[in-house]
Structure 1
Amino acid sequence: MDPNKSTHLQMARSGNGSRGQKIDLLTNHFGVNFTTPKSQHFFQYSVAITYEDGNPVEAKGIGRKILAKVQETYQTDLGFKHFAYDGDKTLFTVGPLPNTKLDFFVVLEDMSCTRSNASTSDAHTKRLRRPNQSKRFNVTISFAAKISMQAIQGALQGKETDDLQDAVRVLDVILRQNAATKGCLLVRQSFFHNDAKYFSNGLGGFNLCRGFHSSFRATQRGLSLNIDVSSTLIVTPGPVMRFLTDNQGVRDQSFIDWKKAERTLKNLRVKVSHSNREYKITGLTRLPCRDQTFIWKQKQGNGEVKEIEVTVYDYFTKHLKIALRYSGDLRCISVGKPKRPNYIPIELCDLVSLQRYTKALTTFQRSKIVKESVQKPQEKMKMLNNAIKDSGYNSDPMLQECGVRIGSDFTQVEGRVLPTPNLKASNGVDLFPTNGRWNFNNKKFAEAATVAKWAVVNFSAKCNPRRIVDDLIRCGRMKGMNIEVPMHDVFEENDQFKSAPGSVRVEKMFAYMESKIKEPPKFLLCILSEKNSDVYGPWKKKTLFGYNGIVNQCIAPPKTVNDQYLTNVLLKINAKLGGLNSMLAIERTRGKSSVMAVPTIIIGMDVSHGSPGQSDVPSIAAVVSSREWPLMSKYRAFVRTQPRKVEMIDNLFNPVSDKDDDGIMRELLLDFESSCKVKPKNIIIFRDGVSESQFKQVLNIELDQMKKACKFLDEQWDPKFTVIIAQKRHQTRFFQGRSRDKNVPPGTIVDSRICSPSNNDFYLCAHAGILGTTRPTHYHVLYDEIGFSTNDLQELVHSLSYVYQRSTTAISIVAPVMYAHLAAAQLATAMKFEDNSESSSSRGGITSGGAVPVPLMPKLKKNVATSMFFC
């Protein structure tokens, strides 16, 4: 089945909500006006670029240089037309080019790479003799399609036509072309200038570079340009050695970890000082410059070539007469291919500017980036005002040709602040959230769990575990928890294992526990020395997949452990052991809530992908589902591995009965029936992590599998489905019209003017923005068989932001989606430590198009499978 061929149609907007206090807002959407264009169509052309010998050009980035040269050289042949090139194989013009097919050739000087088969020495010699290396390229531009501009005119009137998506794509390509001509680094629709503002303190050889995101959006108000401040991490330009010492935090080159250095440097670009040319780093030599040799094909006076084995150091110092101050004892940069090595002393290499770094970062670097990226609303508005003034978009020749003119004012919208949901603690006592926050001062948990047969393991030498235990028991009893005394024991790690790998430390700890107690504990408190301890992953693996499965809580106590810290720990412990910290008032009134009046299951879905550069890490799909209807606060997680970077969850339904895996949907439906003694009549699905281009796939692949799973369990069973997408990765922000120095209040919802002209969507800021500018969640209601009213659906989404058991605050996205994200992330951490045992081998694993088999996720042990282990 074609996943984009509609079998389940996306629903249209049924009307706007009305509940809540109205509030005047501004948003970072700038109005677009459309005057008479020079043509009624965009013309799309295919671009083919080849070398002189006919081989295709595959190097990224070079296409823009070649097309710029074409435009400069062949203006007459192009009919003096401007074009927008996407950097790959497509360009667009306003109106047609003179011919449907055009062939050109261009010559580029100072090429940064060569396709010569020369050896290392020949390449160096040729560059010295001929510094202006040139290369000829053939370019063919062929007509592909016409795209009507009437779609833009329709969007300005609030109409969404079939051609609109294509027309908006062309406008976005024009913005990228505009940025490319200014020498910007392009990251999708974000643009970073060379003179952008940098932050580098504590980032280990990297700079946080600020730029801007710009993209066109079709809204109820018409077409708008959405601009937001954007950030990306770039490599600090300059000498490679300075970068390495900063990156690894060492005094000088003698302390460099060269294996780590090679991983960090690979694929970065350097400029070589003696030739002034750029290269991509392919690796480092294993030997230092004084010892690394290559075969130098030296030309003799009689024209013959003599092969001489020479060291890189001697070649550069004696033949090229380049003085090397410190490279002799250091490894060389390799910029060639395995069969055609090209070695360069490291001190001759400078990292070029505006290189985006996309590999995995440390926990400290990530937290530092978040901190440096923070911008208060007033600061962000000022930057956006300057950006729209400095953009020069209204003088862009292509935007002028298609009649697009962009306004300079923030769009005014009317929002509503939804009433705060009613929360309950123990015995129906009210909790009173203020500004999206509440506390348990003098109150007890709504359903307090019992902590029995428990023990403490201590991997940290920094704290007094006995004191932490005493304080935890005291604080827990204040919250109504029954914490059994005495516990099993506090198991201290043997000093001789503290420097061992994390997995060894965990195995030794379990062996020690087993020697001291006969029966496995039902709960373990694990004390770590730091949050990113290498013990964490192996510990989760052992307690969730191994042994008998033990509910556990890891903590890395601060120097001062106060009651607030202990309460936050107890929130997690209580939820994991089956308790409830707080609950919505509507959860206590079975059958009276309009949402939960009939048996209803709420599902959250997310897919976690490995870090950039981790090509062998599978994606992890997590689905959580509510239990014990009419509760909306208790969930169970179901997690599977799937091929890397695959976004659609491919294991929701297995039509073939399999003792190992019947599919996630059948498993969670049976769990609901077991805990509630009834099948759900309504199924509400919240899906995270998909873009608008994937909405049809969600309906036609994932929803279709879910419906099949229901029919497989009972042919006569026909529950009603509602599917809602939750998006955090967007650039829309809201600002108070009057108090511009403050974030919008929690519960702010916007469903007019800047929303889709046809589809059912809305923005919700459920939480209080403490740092920076609040990022709303963009919800899209794709499918609604249940038939919610607009107000009821919006209030349900708002309420589900208040049932997150890990904190006493409203969160920015519905709790089931956050739980799915946590479950995927936690088990991904545990999977990193999988060995080659049967549970993690590729036997029975899934494959991606015949590629390397994906290791199967080990099964959670029964004792933890139904718990909120991810909480």
Structure 2
Amino acid sequence: MGWAVARGVELQSTCPPRPKKASTLGREIAVTLNTYNLFGMPTKTAYQYDITIVSQNPAKGTTATDPPKRGLVKKIWESKAVKQELGDGHMWLHDGNKLAWSSFKLPRPEHRIQVDLDQEEGRANVKKGKENRHKIFVRFTKDVDFSGLQAFFEGQAPWSEACIDTINFFDHAMRENPSHRYTQIKKNFFQRGEKRFALGKGIEAFKGVFSSIRPSLFANGVRGLSVNVDVANGTFWIAQDLGKALLDAFGCSQVAQLQQKFAQAKAGKEGFDGSLFRRDLKRFSKLHVVDTHRSEVGQWCIDKFIAQDCTEKKFQLGDKNGEKGEWITIFDYFKKTYNITCTRGIPLVKMTKGKETYLPVDVLRIEANQRYNSKLDEGQTSNMIKFAVTYPKERWAAVEAGVKLLDWQNDPYLAHYNVKINPHPVEVKARLLPCPDVTMTGGSIKAGAGPAKGRWRIDKMKFLTPNTQPLRSWGICVIGGPRSLPPDAAKKFAQLLITTYKGHGGKFGQGGEDPWIGPGNLAQGGEMINSVWQATGNKFTARPQLLVFIVNDKNIDVYRRIKKSCDCRFGVVSQVLQSAQCVKLDSQYASNVCMKINAKLGGSTSRATGTALARVNPKFATTSMMCVGADVSHPAPGSGSSEAASFAAITVSQDSHFARYTAECNTNGRRLEMITTQNIDTHFKNQAKTWIMNCGKGNPPKRILYVRDGVSEGQYQYVLEQEVKDMKAVMKEVAPGSDCKFTVVIAGKRHHIRFFPKAGTGDQRTGNAMPGTLVENGCTHPFEWDFYLCAHAAIKGTARPIHYQVILNEGDFGGEELQQFIFEQSFQYARSTTPVSLFPAVYYAHLAADRARAHENTTPVSSGKKGDKKGEDGKTETSGSSNTGKPSTEVNPLVPLNISGGIQNVMWFI
């Protein structure tokens, strides 16, 4: 938990240590990792300095001591005045903000440097108050102590702030040279001139290289630093005329179409400011452009588009003496001054520079290599996936190309500080864990018959448990539209679904094999669902148990409207299908749909049955255990996220095989990462009571395995001190006198570690690691208990293993026991005939959190802070108020599920 120290988090305990013995289950295989080890520590001393810049004319809305924007900071740091004062030959490193390092110790504790960028860039007669002058303070703070980190690796000293300083130094020493040669975005570098891939609507993608340094346990048992190198896929604006970019962004082939959209936005009920057109224009904000109408090119940054065109906006001319003259439109000014005819009927661009600077799009061009930060639409996302997905062979070639791009051997900064990186990748002895059989009613699918390869068929197999109540009252609504399913085809598909479900053991009541089938009209809104509900109920004179909707195409808004009505208004499980799939009458598709329906009706698909767990812990099967998964999802950056809610989902296993789960969700403040006390007290409590009553036969579990969706290392302690503490309080309340032992595991997906198995040990079709590939060294923490597990067989691209970090082990799990249990559970995902990559409890929490967005209560909140700044840039807060656990920014709770039909006790979210 070392990174937490740097964040000022006071730790009361450390994570559990790595088990003394590595796993011996399964068989040993050789795997190459995309990591590279450092050789020892630098011999040259490095000195750390604090950098403060004071601007003579600070930007609007800032003070003189506020740090300038990064682009200006870079200009100031690279100025002649700074280089002359600090010495250009001392190989200074700079983090682009507040810190710098050098092997040269300045003669004084503090140096003050005057920087006049006007003079250095050849600008004369600058108007008073507009000067680009700055003062930079360079203050010595500390020596970088490499011995402290070495002592930590040798187990002779704890992780400390000095270790953090050392890692920070290494990180920036590695970045300095590439940052001068390539486009840098955080830890990613993109080579100029790289081959582009168009994503649509003026956006393109191209590949770069990611690198990050980390403490690691080497394959030979030695502890040190390693560099993780991976492919980076970046999205950028296409460098082109701004007018062409606007046409692309709005799908217009002609300027007249864009003019029409602008006119409609101004004439609309909400006006230009409230229009969708203006909202979509916001993605151009902060974009850097250059003007093309002058001999001396000017650089600008877009503030916004305004509701006036070039013939409507006027400004007052002035003479050389500052005297005000006539008023003139921007159209007439550009025609008179530059002989440029500006395009009428499209919005003008307001710039950030100056109070009232407006330019027409005709004279602006987007600068190259600018990152696109907004959310991609469905078409762009689809194209991005095609571009980004590469099989291991191609990905490894890209990693090697990235290593050549970084060129460590010829890096002058690394050479100056004597930092040496092994150019050969790390190879480890991994384990291929024993694969379980997949058991269903009446038989098992043996590991060798499919599960070990990551895919199996369930033809003629019956589900582990069928629906709890025979299916009798149900209906199928065929929604009208251009691609609507014909009535005869709907009846044929219904019969295929019935036959398939019966074949898998599904139970039907009297009349259940003749469902209500009728049309639906989306124009009716919620009344369409009501009509289907009433018609189905009237046909069977009973409360509907299931409603199926066959839609024309994939539309998230339609999907969520259906789910909200079914879940919250009527309390009935539902299944949404696409007509293009139903018309094929494919038995495999019908079988997949039946897995979902069976789970929603209280059944379970299958369970994993292996022998390894019984060997490593003979008491495993007789020790009662509850599995809990949790996920907090946040809105995507740039999608109105400052006002959008975060969602917390908690799932709890409800049978002894961990095959059935319940889930409850609610809003969780705005960008609040920790699950609030209120959510745990309400939603975990409900599910814990259900477990004790049904699964525990009145008794609480002896063990609780809590697997939390990935949080940063600095937040581990908050998970223990807030979420786990609240869960323990709930268990004490629902089962007084209980002493449930918690084991808490963080499951992380956001990392760049990849497995490249040696020939003959991977999937022959794709080159990926086989399901069950376990890595415990080479990329793991030097002392704490973590591991990487690839539980699935990736169909496309390169498989991403899950990083599991154990942060509490009261349940006394052994290393092999926990790893094998997580692996085997991956074979029990209710709607799949493949093992999944992530522990199912967390996977279900992902599904539930995503589904919960359909349950949003859009009624405005009258109180609470508006415009949370942290929400704007995609950052998250750790917790709410210090004592109550309430969210820092108030949001409405979700519309609750209608539980009158028992929907809360089945897998409604699947």
Please report the TM-score for the alignment, with normalisation by the length of structure 1.
Answer: 0.88
Please give the alpha-carbon distance, in whole angstroms, between the structure 2 residues aligned to 1:695 and 1:667.
25
Q: In structure 2, the residue corresponding to 1:328 is in which secondary structure?
A: coil
The 1:860/1:516 distance shift into structure 2, 3 A limit, reads closer
Residue 288 of structure 2 corresponds to: 269
Q: Is the 8 A contact 1:767 1:809 kept in 2?
A: yes
Q: In structure 2, the residue corresponding to 1:139 is in which secondary structure?
A: strand
Cα deviation, 1:347-383, whole Å, max 9, x if unaligned, reads 1111111221222222232222122101121112222
2:641 equivalent to 1:641: no
Residue 658 of structure 1 corresponds to: none
Cα deviation, 1:688-722, whole Å, max 9, x if unaligned, reads 12122322222222222222333344552211110
Q: In structure 1, the residue corresponding to 2:737 is in which secondary structure?
A: coil
Q: In structure 1, the residue corresponding to 2:100 is in which secondary structure?
A: strand
2:731 equivalent to 1:710: yes
Following TM superposition, by how much is the alpha carbon of 1:728 offset from its aligned partner in structure 2, in angstroms?
0.9
Residue 330 of structure 2 corresponds to: 312
More divergent stretch after superposition (100-109 vs 50-59): 50-59
Residue 242 of structure 1 corresponds to: 244
Following TM superposition, by how much is the alpha carbon of 1:78 offset from its aligned partner in structure 2, in angstroms?
4.8
Following TM superposition, by how much is the alpha carbon of 1:82 offset from its aligned partner in structure 2, in angstroms?
2.6
Please give the alpha-carbon distance, in whole angstroms, between the structure 2 residues aligned to 1:11 and 1:364.
45
The 1:6/1:36 distance shift into structure 2, 3 A limit, reads closer
Following TM superposition, by how much is the alpha carbon of 1:751 offset from its aligned partner in structure 2, in angstroms?
0.7
2:42 equivalent to 1:43: no
Following TM superposition, by how much is the alpha carbon of 1:25 offset from its aligned partner in structure 2, in angstroms?
1.1
Q: In structure 1, the residue corresponding to 2:365 is in which secondary structure?
A: strand
Please give the alpha-carbon distance, in whole angstroms, between the structure 2 residues aligned to 1:573 and 1:590.
32
Following TM superposition, by how much is the alpha carbon of 1:619 offset from its aligned partner in structure 2, in angstroms?
0.9
Q: Is the 8 A contact 1:218 1:224 kept in 2?
A: yes
Q: In structure 2, the residue corresponding to 1:438 is in which secondary structure?
A: coil
Q: Is the 8 A contact 2:191 2:208 kept in 1?
A: yes
Residue 571 of structure 2 corresponds to: 549
Residue 623 of structure 1 corresponds to: 650
1:250 counterpart letter in structure 2: C
Q: 1:731 aligns with which of 738, 752, 757?
A: 752
More divergent stretch after superposition (558-567 vs 578-587): 578-587
Q: 1:817 aligns with which of 830, 833, 842?
A: 842
Residue 753 of structure 1 corresponds to: 778
CA root-mean-square deviation: 3.1
Following TM superposition, by how much is the alpha carbon of 1:815 offset from its aligned partner in structure 2, in angstroms?
0.6
Q: In structure 2, the residue corresponding to 1:472 is in which secondary structure?
A: helix
Please give the alpha-carbon distance, in whole angstroms, between the structure 2 residues aligned to 1:688 and 1:408.
34
Q: Is the 8 A contact 1:603 1:625 kept in 2?
A: yes
Residue 659 of structure 1 corresponds to: none
Cα deviation, 1:470-527, whole Å, max 9, x if unaligned, reads 2111211111112453545223124xxx5x4xxx533344246537744542211111
The 1:169/1:73 distance shift into structure 2, 3 A limit, reads closer
Q: Is the 8 A contact 1:52 1:136 kept in 2?
A: yes
Q: In structure 1, the residue corresponding to 2:348 is in which secondary structure?
A: strand
Residue 294 of structure 1 corresponds to: 314
Q: 1:666 aligns with which of 675, 685, 688?
A: 685
2:391 equivalent to 1:391: no
Equivalent positions of 1:466-477 (< 5 A) are: 466-477=491-502
Following TM superposition, by how much is the alpha carbon of 1:28 offset from its aligned partner in structure 2, in angstroms?
0.7
2:633 equivalent to 1:612: no
Q: Is the 8 A contact 1:653 1:666 kept in 2?
A: no
Residue 272 of structure 2 corresponds to: none
Following TM superposition, by how much is the alpha carbon of 1:582 offset from its aligned partner in structure 2, in angstroms?
0.9
Following TM superposition, by how much is the alpha carbon of 1:164 offset from its aligned partner in structure 2, in angstroms?
2.7
Following TM superposition, by how much is the alpha carbon of 1:415 offset from its aligned partner in structure 2, in angstroms?
0.6
Residue 865 of structure 1 corresponds to: 904
2:12 equivalent to 1:7: yes
Q: Is the 8 A contact 2:55 2:64 kept in 1?
A: yes
Please give the alpha-carbon distance, in whole angstroms, between the structure 1 residues aligned to 2:854 and 2:679.
26
Residue 270 of structure 2 corresponds to: none
Please give the alpha-carbon distance, in whole angstroms, between the structure 1 residues aligned to 2:442 and 2:12.
48
Residue 115 of structure 2 corresponds to: 106
1:558 counterpart letter in structure 2: A
Q: Is the 8 A contact 1:78 1:98 kept in 2?
A: no
Q: Is the 8 A contact 2:290 2:365 kept in 1?
A: yes
Equivalent positions of 1:800-815 (< 5 A) are: 800-815=825-840
Following TM superposition, by how much is the alpha carbon of 1:603 offset from its aligned partner in structure 2, in angstroms?
0.7
The 1:360/1:870 distance shift into structure 2, 3 A limit, reads same
Q: In structure 1, the residue corresponding to 2:565 is in which secondary structure?
A: helix
Residue 183 of structure 2 corresponds to: 184
The percentage of counterpart residues that share the same residue type is 26
Following TM superposition, by how much is the alpha carbon of 1:270 offset from its aligned partner in structure 2, in angstroms?
1.6
Please give the alpha-carbon distance, in whole angstroms, between the structure 1 residues aligned to 2:119 and 2:651.
56
Residue 332 of structure 1 corresponds to: 348
Please give the alpha-carbon distance, in whole angstroms, between the structure 2 residues aligned to 1:745 and 1:581.
23
The 1:789/1:80 distance shift into structure 2, 3 A limit, reads same
Please give the alpha-carbon distance, in whole angstroms, between the structure 2 residues aligned to 1:345 and 1:757.
58
Q: 2:370 aligns with which of 341, 349, 355?
A: 355
Equivalent positions of 1:387-786 (< 5 A) are: 387-430=402-445, 432=447, 433-449=451-467, 450-461=470-481, 462=483, 463-464=485-486, 465-484=490-509, 485-494=512-521, 498=522, 500=523, 505-511=525-531, 513-514=533-534, 517-518=537-538, 520-546=543-569, 548-558=570-580, 560-585=584-609, 594-613=619-638, 614=640, 615-628=642-655, 630-651=656-677, 662-676=681-695, 677=697, 678-738=699-759, 742-786=767-811
Q: Is the 8 A contact 1:273 1:348 kept in 2?
A: yes
Please give the alpha-carbon distance, in whole angstroms, between the structure 1 residues aligned to 2:417 and 2:169.
11
Residue 122 of structure 1 corresponds to: none
Q: In structure 1, the residue corresponding to 2:349 is in which secondary structure?
A: strand
Cα deviation, 1:203-255, whole Å, max 9, x if unaligned, reads 32111121111011211122111100011211111112222222333211222
Following TM superposition, by how much is the alpha carbon of 1:344 offset from its aligned partner in structure 2, in angstroms?
0.9
Q: Is the 8 A contact 2:631 2:845 kept in 1?
A: yes
Please give the alpha-carbon distance, in whole angstroms, between the structure 2 residues aligned to 1:869 and 1:128.
71
What residue ranges of structure 1 are gaps of 5+ in the alignment?
Answer: 113-125, 655-661
Q: 1:373 aligns with which of 384, 388, 393?
A: 388
Please give the alpha-carbon distance, in whole angstroms, between the structure 2 residues aligned to 1:390 and 1:233.
19
Cα deviation, 1:531-583, whole Å, max 9, x if unaligned, reads 2242111111111122x311111111335231111111111111111111111
Q: Is the 8 A contact 1:601 1:682 kept in 2?
A: yes
More divergent stretch after superposition (562-571 vs 175-184): 175-184
Residue 323 of structure 1 corresponds to: 340
Q: Is the 8 A contact 2:677 2:723 kept in 1?
A: no
The 1:395/1:517 distance shift into structure 2, 3 A limit, reads same
Q: Is the 8 A contact 2:774 2:790 kept in 1?
A: yes
The 1:146/1:706 distance shift into structure 2, 3 A limit, reads farther
Please give the alpha-carbon distance, in whole angstroms, between the structure 1 residues aligned to 2:151 and 2:100.
24
Residue 195 of structure 2 corresponds to: 197
Q: Is the 8 A contact 1:610 1:617 kept in 2?
A: yes
More divergent stretch after superposition (275-284 vs 770-779): 275-284
Please give the alpha-carbon distance, in whole angstroms, between the structure 2 residues aligned to 1:309 and 1:520.
73
The 1:128/1:594 distance shift into structure 2, 3 A limit, reads farther
Cα deviation, 1:156-193, whole Å, max 9, x if unaligned, reads 7688742333321222223333332124131x211222
2:876 equivalent to 1:855: no
The 1:524/1:679 distance shift into structure 2, 3 A limit, reads same
2:292 counterpart letter in structure 1: S
More divergent stretch after superposition (45-54 vs 465-474): 45-54
The 1:681/1:6 distance shift into structure 2, 3 A limit, reads same
Please give the alpha-carbon distance, in whole angstroms, between the structure 1 residues aligned to 2:609 and 2:572.
32
Q: 1:143 aligns with which of 140, 144, 154?
A: 140
The 1:771/1:625 distance shift into structure 2, 3 A limit, reads same
The 1:859/1:146 distance shift into structure 2, 3 A limit, reads farther
Q: What is the total number of aligned residue pairs between the two structures?
A: 825
